[in-house]
Amino acid sequence: MNPLSRVAIGSLLILAGPLAHAADGQAIFNRGGQNPAAMACMGCHGVDGKGIAAAGFPRLAGLPAGYLAKQLRDFRQGSRKQAVMEPLAKALDEAEIDAVSHYLAQLPADPAPDLRRQQIATDPLTRLALYGDWGRQLPGCVQCHGPGGSGVGEHFPPLAGQPAAYLAAQLQAWRIGTRSNDPNQLMVNVAKALSDSEVEALAGYFAQPAHQEARP
């Protein structure tokens, strides 16, 4: 084969690449992607995709597909730096990212916490979560993340049902700059306005739906 036709065949293969396989989101979740470095998601994110709280591995089940796909691309291009997910995301191709994100989005999630939480703000932590602190130009978390932190649309992910250690790690990542993928810097300003103890307290507040059930 002459070098020219080799190049031609090579570019045909590259063009055909993304169409060469119909990516199966469920198969990727259970067994991993075509590239062996794209390990099965359920190994860390739980057989039901609800995460593994004790290990701080986040819930993916029921998160919006657009948000999930964005995160995978952010890990890949470096606006979200994290040693475990970066190589995994790089090992997925475009079709696989879309397929696994759509699969995850339709997995059942635990019900969102009680809406009554919206109205009850008797202590400083709850006030911060619900109404923010305008002295610090800090909006309430639920103003973007929805009632009880249940998430809003494709862009504002749920906080409810995530492990506390994961939520705290994300807030810290924005503060130190390893996560810089938020549209219009919506989260970096929020995270930087919080103290360390507020980060821990808010992470615990949103991680535990039981917290508000104990309230009247």
Inter-residue contact 145 to 156 (CB < 8 Å): yes
Closer to ligand HEC by CB, 1 or 89: give it: 89
CA distance 89 to 83: 11
Inter-residue contact 74 to 2 (CB < 8 Å): no
State the minimum distance, in angstroms, from the CB of residue 54 to ligand HEC.
12
State the minimum distance, in angstroms, from the CB of residue 144 to ligand HEC.
3
CB count within 10 Å of CB 193 equals 16
State the minimum distance, in angstroms, from the CB of residue 33 to ligand HEC.
6
With residue 141 as reference, give the H or E element that holds it.
helix 141-145
State the minimum distance, in angstroms, from the CB of residue 4 to ligand HEC.
38
Closer to ligand HEC by CB, 10 or 124: give it: 124
Q: How far is CA 66 from CA 15, 62, 91, 199, in A?
A: 25, 11, 19, 26
* Encoded tokens for 209: 């739906």
Site for ligand HEC, rule CB under 6 A = 28, 33, 38-39, 41, 43-45, 57-58, 60, 68, 70-72, 82, 84-85, 88, 92, 100, 139, 141, 143-145, 155-157, 159, 162, 167, 169-171, 181-183, 186-187, 190, 202
Closer to ligand HEC by CB, 82 or 208: give it: 82
Closer to ligand HEC by CB, 44 or 114: give it: 44
Phi and psi at residue 156, to the nearest 5°: -110, 100
Give the side-chain half-sphere CA count within 13 A for 9.
Answer: 6
State the minimum distance, in angstroms, from the CB of residue 64 to ligand HEC.
10
CA distance 80 to 86: 8
Closer to ligand HEC by CB, 20 or 84: give it: 84
